[in-house]
Copies of this chain bind each other. A is one copy, B any other.
């Protein structure tokens, strides 16, 4: 499937579930369609493909956080009163590139002049934080491997997941090294995909046959652009700022969150994100994972459909996947992935190494 097919299939799915509700705006989240498919202008492409002529349409990009940033812009459009129904589609077509090309494309998330040009890839930047983290907090690779193991366990019952099979800690730590100390099974895959949601105003809330959830807060924050420039490369300050603002904006505390989708591009990103949010103490997230705190039956289930690692990570789509998955949890339509009694979800989507982070808090509509 080409990038257009991916967008359309996903959009048609959500439009069908929305009955006679027609989008008055189309926003596409995507990172690198220009490099990946020699195609820009995805907003008009998708709107026109759906027969939505004359609506506003455009693409929003924030590297792997493009999906979350697109959702945020839909939220602003509705909150401004200028839109009542915004189609948000996240999409990425990565597999027309070979692995080397895809690695270069992903490296565009960091500063090309200072990082990528000297050979630092997105993978190797995360490997540096992985190594520093393990050394500073005496965390073992076995502990960090709890995150991919958890994701694969959840993905077994996730119909839209890419890898519907469980793996063991041993599988992770014996998998090939991709950028020492990051191993293949610490890493989310390069893949294609698209996900869509509709963001509607209050007046349209009851019109969608598939039900609705409330966006309680929508926040985006940026960190220092180059990892090398940061006072503390282990401090995900954008995640912390966006989470703090989202909780304050919704009048929530962390303990109100029933499920969470965390941007687990690598095992290390799950740990650092959860710690920046204040869910775990510094250096403590991997142990929490190991002890089952984040499992679907645990205190705070995360990545309930497999996360980036096992559901897949078509980069510009991931933030919208997270929103769709939270929607399923909160409307009780998550099937075998359902977390019982889930009423409030937080979704966390990052571009780069916490360079741009989008956090949304969603809740059930009673």
Binding site for B on A (CB under 8 A): 2, 4, 26, 31-32, 34-35, 37-45, 47-49, 52-63, 65-66, 69, 72-73, 75-77, 79-82, 104-105, 107-113, 116, 219-226, 229, 237-238, 241, 351-352, 355-356
Q: Which of B40, B219, B223 contacts A109 (CB 8 A)?
A: B40
Q: Is the CB of A105 within 8 A of B41?
A: no
Q: How many angstroms between the C-alpha atoms of A26 and B81 in the bound complex? A: 21
CB pair B112–A57 under 8 Å, yes or no, is no
- Among residues of B, the one whose C-beta sits closest to the C-beta of A116 is B38
The answer to whether A43 and B222 touch (CB under 8 A), given A34-B105, A57-B62, A82-B76, is yes
Evaluate contact between A237 and B112: CB separation under 8 angstroms.
Answer: no
Residues of B within 8 A of A111 (CB): 4, 39, 45
Contact, CB under 8 Å: B37 / A34:
no
Q: Could you say which residues of chain B place their CB within 8 Å of the CB of A41?
A: 61-63, 108-110, 225, 351-352, 355-356
Q: Which B residue's beta carbon lies closest to that of A224?
A: B48
**A37-B55 Cα distance, complex, nearest whole Å:** 31
Q: Which residue of B lies closest to A75 (CB)?
A: B80
Q: CA A48 – CA B109 in complex, angstroms?
A: 13
A60 with B58: CB separation less than 8 A: yes
Cα(A172)–Cα(B104), bound, Å: 42
A361 → B minimal CB distance (Å): 15
B-side contacts of A37, CB under 8 Å: 112
Given A41-B62, A63-B41, CB of A222 within 8 Å of CB of B55: yes
Smallest distance from the beta carbon of A359 to chain B beta carbons, Å?
11
Alpha-carbon distance between A116 and B2 when the two chains are bound, in angstroms: 15
Given contacts A76-B80, A355-B41, A222 and B56 within 8 Å (CB-CB): yes
| Minimum CB–CB distance for A234 against chain B, Å | 16
Min CB distance A348 to B, Å, is: 15
Q: Is the CB of A44 within 8 A of B113?
A: no
> Which residue from chain B places its CB closest to the CB of A48 in the assembled complex?
B225
Cα-based distance from A141 to B221 in the complex (angstroms): 51
State A46–B282 Cα separation when bound (angstroms): 30
Docked Cα-Cα span, A112 to B49, in Å, equals: 14
Q: Which residue of B lies closest to A52 (CB)?
A: B222
Residue ID in chain B nearest A220 by CB atoms: B56
The reply to whether B53 and A237 contact each other, CB–CB distance below 8 Å, is: yes
Question: Are B116 and A53 closer than 8 Å at their CB atoms?
Answer: no
Complex CA–CA separation, A41 to B62 (angstroms): 5
- Asked if residues A108 and B53 are in contact (CB atoms below 8 Å), the reply is no
CA distance A352 to B81 in the complex (A): 28
Other contacts beyond A41-B110, A43-B222: 15, CB < 8 A: A32-B34, A34-B35, A34-B108, A38-B104, A38-B108, A40-B63, A41-B356, A42-B61, A43-B62, A55-B221, A55-B222, A58-B62, A58-B69, A75-B80, A80-B80
Cβ contact within 8 Å between B222 and A44: yes
